[in-house]
Amino acid sequence: MIAGILIYLFPDNRARAVDTSLRFFYEMISILPAIVVLIGLFAVFVPKQMVANYLGHASGVKGFLLAIFLGALPTGPLYVAFPLAAAMLKKGARVANMIVFLTAWACIKLPQEMVELQFMGLKFTLLRFSLTAAAAVLMGLLTERLMKTAENTQESA
Amino acid sequence: MNAATITVNVIALAALLWALSKDRSKTKQALRVAVRSFLGMLPMVLTIIILIGVLLGFVTPQIIQNLLGEESGFFGILTAALIGAVMHIPSLIAFPLAASLLEGGAAVGTVAGFIASLTMIGVLTFPVEVRELGVKMTIMRNGFGFLFAIAIALVMGVLL
């Protein structure tokens, strides 16, 4: 509603706003159906044990690497990754790995890296890539630790 | 159709065909889950798309360039990270913009902070994230994301 009022008040920006929305709508509608099909199949077919093995607490460094790999696959905008992460969490993936997955999805997508390489150069891209990967793992571990602490205090309270 | 769209659709289709060959009734069940989560996400996603459109309609690359071109140092990085957190720009537009910022004299750290927080944090997509992952995880992911975006920016500013 606020959006409607703004656009009404500033007609100069209308075309640009509508144009952008349509572009994002097109992106969404060409990706979201595929994502929900994957979520559905994942929910029904993939055994819990498998997710726990590859992305659960016992997965260690391999889990982080797998999470980064999954995140870097050329897929779509970040908001479609949230339900995917939620589905994996339900099946026993650890929080740290899902944060790594989301961060990788957001920051180090393969097609995005190509564009970055082209515009920002090799040094910038490589440095940002390695720093982001390290930050992703740190963020994952920190979040997991804090979520656990929060749960424990809730339980004891 | 870009590479990402094609890849994800091909993967989904292949998985669907594989599932059908394995177990029809389970596949039906999976598709029901798919429809349900699609309908569940749609209203929120549509709202977000409209908001992004309005935001980008008002904040043009030119405005960002003006804001980030002059600031440098820690304050520049902070501004860049804040703008990056609120904005929602596809990378095909973001990186050319970042490159032109550099050419225009912006510091490397500022530009790196902008990219890091632009990609990692989505203030506009908070509702979807909270719905799927909960308030706590959303706050932590975005909070740490913001701090690490600044950290990455500082390190890159020093090293490059």
Q: Distance between CA B150 and CA B55 in Å, rounded?
A: 23
Residue A103, Cα to own-chain centre: how many angstroms?
A: 6
Residues 107-146 of B with CB under 8 A from A: 108, 112, 115-116, 119-120, 122, 125, 128-129, 131-133, 136-137, 140-141, 144-145
Q: Shortest CB distance from B52 goes to which of A21, A35, A41?
A: A21
Q: Is the pLDDT of residue B100 over 80?
A: yes
Residue B44: Cβ-neighbour burial (10 angstroms; 0-12, 13-18, 19+): middle
Mean predicted confidence (pLDDT) in A5-17: 68
Least confident of A113-117, B50-54, B110-114, B134-138: B50-54
Burial of B10 (0-12, 13-18, 19+ CB in 10 A): exposed
What type of residue sits at position B156?
Answer: M
Mean pLDDT of chain A: 87
Closest by Cβ to A34, choosing from B12, B112, B122: B12
Does B20 reach chain A within 8 Å, measured CB to CB?
no
Cβ separation of B5 and A139 shorter than 8 Å? Answer: no
Query: Is the pLDDT assigned to residue B130 strictly greater than 90?
Result: yes
Which of A80-84, B69-73, B85-89 is predicted with the least confidence, judged by mean pLDDT? B69-73
Per-residue pLDDT averaged across B56-82, rounded? Answer: 80
B62 vs chain A: nearest CA distance in angstroms? 14
Residue B19, pLDDT above cutoff 90: yes
Residue with tokens 């979040």: A143
Kindly tell me if the per-residue pLDDT of A23 is higher than 50.
Answer: yes
CA distance B75 to chain A (A): 20
Binary contact (A135, B151; C-beta < 8 A): yes
Confidence of residue A83 (pLDDT cuts 50, 70, 90): very high
CA-CA distances (angstroms) from residue B62 to A60, A62, A142, B71?
Answer: 45, 43, 37, 15
Query: Where is pLDDT greater, at A152 or B18?
Result: B18
Tens of pLDDT along A36-71? 999 999 999 999 999 999 999 989 999 999 999 999
B147 has a pLDDT exceeding 50: yes
Closest CA to A38 of B51, B85, B38: B38
The larger pLDDT score, comparing residue A12 to residue A111, is at: A111
pLDDT number for residue A157: 47
Q: Do B45 and A107 touch (CB under 8 A)?
A: no
Using alpha carbons only, what angle is made at residue B47 by residues B11 and B95, rounded to the nearest 5 degrees? Answer: 60
* A-B Cβ pairs (cutoff 8 Å, strict): 218
Q: Do A116 and B29 touch (CB under 8 A)?
A: no
Which residues does chain B have within 8 Å of residue A32's beta carbon, measured at their own beta carbons?
A: 38, 41-42, 45
- Taking CB atoms and an 8 Å limit, are B50 and A3 in contact across chains? yes
- A146 pLDDT above the threshold of 50: yes
